[in-house]
Amino acid sequence: MAFIKRFEDSQAWQEARVLVKMIYGLTNKDQFAKDFGMKDQIRRASVSAMANIAEGFDCESKLEFARFLGIARRSAVEVQSLLYAALDTSYINQTEFAEHYEQARKAKALIGGFKSSLGKK
């Protein structure tokens, strides 16, 4: 495993960034774009996942960094939950749901792995 020198080197941050791009693309479409509340909430949750990884990276302790990663992980879970709301309101179809849910799951898993790795060594 390569040493991570910058937050941009973290695979968790990279996948969270992909999630943000995907969510923004999804929420620019049709009825979803008109629902300002839900659109804003799911966008903020996706950005929060990415931003908390970066913010935590500059913490002065592993414990504090782990706290930020916990927030990032919960933000990815929030995206997953909001995708259900988007599906249930027919803003997205099952295929879009599955693609975006999987990206959120991937980011969440990497964030969780990153957090677990802080306790090792």
**Domain ranges in the chain?**
9-118
Q: Closest by alpha carbon to 107, among 27, 52, 62, 56?
A: 52
pLDDT band at 96 (very low <50, low <70, confident <90, very high): very high
pLDDT band at 3 (very low <50, low <70, confident <90, very high): confident
Q: Is the pLDDT of residue 77 over 70?
A: yes
Give the angle 113-23-12 at the CA atoms, nearest 5°.
Answer: 20
- pLDDT at position 46 is 98
CB 103 within 8 A of CB 18: yes
**Whether domain 9-118 has CATH 1.20.1440.60:** yes
Calculate the alpha carbon distances from 71 to 33, 46, 59, 92, 100 in Å.
Answer: 26, 11, 14, 26, 19
CB 112 within 8 A of CB 73: yes
d(CA 35, CA 103): 22
d(CA 79, CA 31): 18
| Range 56-73 average pLDDT | 95
- pLDDT at position 120 is 65
pLDDT band at 32 (very low <50, low <70, confident <90, very high): very high
Q: Is the pLDDT of residue 98 over 70?
A: yes
- Tell me if residue 28 falls in helix, strand or coil: coil
